[in-house]
Amino acid sequence: MPTYTAFTTLTAKDRAEALGVAMENMMPEPTGIGVFEMEDGSGLWEVGGYFTEAPDDVGLALLAKAHDARAFVVSELPDVDWVAKVRRDLAPVEAGRFFVYGSHDADKVPEGSEPLLIEAAMAFGTGHHGTTLGCLRALDRLANDGFVGHKVADIGCGTAVLAMGAARIWPDPVLASDIDEVAVEVAQANVSANGLEGRVHCLEATGFDHPDLAAAAPFDLVFANILKAPLIALAPDMAAHLAPGGWAILSGLLNEQAKEVVGVYAENGMTLAHQEQIGDWSTLTLKRDAG
């Protein structure tokens, strides 16, 4: 059965969300709709729909005009087993001591590594993206320097791969939170698949807004692999929830966005200790001032 996609972009979040809602009433009915802020720093929002029948071009054109969006781009996807394709294309990833792999590569786990199993069907946040890879490398560097995290949180955890990495190497439980209910379910499934029940606790929360996070603060390490705008908005709360001398590992940033984020965090009492660029993406390791 063929799959069709229809994508457009808008400049405002509220109009993008309204367009996404309007698409739900289309005929033929879409099987899924997504509304996302684009990660290229453009400030644009992308709205897309997936269809098992060719979508109504006239209906899409009217919706685009009504919501001041660009014309939809409609494509027919080839009939592909996407999970099988991901399994072929996503080779295991090594990030210092960490080895991120799918179950189909279980025979490749090196002796002495810290294995992190992420299934191919849950490919976002597997370690192949420069942001996740950079965060795992930053974690490995801190551990190599003798740092031990006793209170660790992963804010916007996605697959929880970062939280699981911390739980693999340090004895205390780690908190992993995400704003999205489905992401929390995925995170919990990954925690179970890695035998880390009781070691990583998954929460649905916006930023630090959860009783368990408030009770555990102040943290000595916080991961936030999200996007520039939410990272900037998170800076005051990050400072409030980090212990003096605590560490923050931030990513989800394009290289050209890093300077602005570093500046905002400096205004909130955190100093850049390390920056790594992997492709177009930067990972920042910052330390909260001890004073």
Strand partners for 37: 45
Q: Are strands 174-178 and 152-155 parallel, antiparallel or unpaired?
A: parallel
273 pLDDT exceeds 60? yes
Q: Is the dihedral of CA 189, 193, 194, 200 positive or negative?
A: positive
Cβ proximity of 50 and 3 under 8 Å:
yes
Stronger pLDDT, 219 or 96, i.e. the higher one:
219
Beta-carbon contacts of 74 under 8 Å, excluding residues fewer than 6 positions away, are: 4, 5, 6, 54, 55, 57, 60
Mean pLDDT of 209-234: 94
Exposed/middle/buried for residue 254 (C-beta within 10 Å: 0-12, 13-18, 19+): middle
**Cα distances (angstroms) measured from residue 60 to each of 53, 65, 143, 210:** 14, 9, 52, 40
Arithmetic mean of pLDDT, 70-89: 67
Structure tokens at 193: 């698949």
Whether the pLDDT of residue 93 is over 90: the answer is: no
187 vs 199: CA distance, rounded Å: 13
The pLDDT of residue 251: 93
pLDDT tens digits for range 164-189? 999 999 999 999 999 888 888 888 99
Please give the pLDDT value at position 3: 81
What's the whole-number mean pLDDT along residues 151-166?
94
pLDDT at 87 over 70: no
pLDDT > 50? residue 125: no
Q: How confident is the model at residue 129 (pLDDT cuts 50, 70, 90)?
A: low
Would the pLDDT of 261 be above 50?
yes
* CA-wise closest residue to 130 among 84, 163, 93: 93
DSSP letters, 120-187, are GGG-TTSS-SHHHHHHHHHHHHHHHTT---SSEEEET-TT-HHHHHHHHHSSS-EEEEES-HHHHHHH
Pick the residue with more confidence: 22 or 120?
22
Residue 124 reports pLDDT greater than 50 = no
In whole numbers, what is the pLDDT of the chain averaged over residues?
87
H/E element, 270 = strand 270-278
Residue 194 predicted with pLDDT over 80: yes
CA distance 247 to 21: 40
Lowest mean pLDDT across 68-82, 137-151, 249-263, 272-286: 68-82
| pLDDT above 90: percentage of residues in the chain | 58
Nearest to 54 by CA among 71, 30, 33: 30
- Average confidence (pLDDT) over 105-126: 72
Could you identify the residue written with the tokens 């939809």? Answer: 72
Continuous segment of H or E residues that includes residue 15: helix 13-23
Residue 162 has pLDDT above 90, yes or no: yes
Other C-beta atoms lying within 10 Å of the C-beta of residue 230:
16
How confident is residue 267, by pLDDT bands cut at 50, 70 and 90? very high
What the block records as the tokens of 154 is: 């992963």
pLDDT of residue 278: 85
To the question of pTM greater than 0.75 for the whole model, the response is no
Q: What is the pLDDT of residue 65?
A: 95
Look at residue 277 and give its three-state secondary structure. Answer: strand
Q: Are 119 and 92 in contact (CB under 8 A)?
A: no
109 vs 93: which has the higher pLDDT: 109
Average pLDDT over every residue of 128-151: 90
- pLDDT score, position 224: 95
pLDDT reading at 218 higher than 60: yes
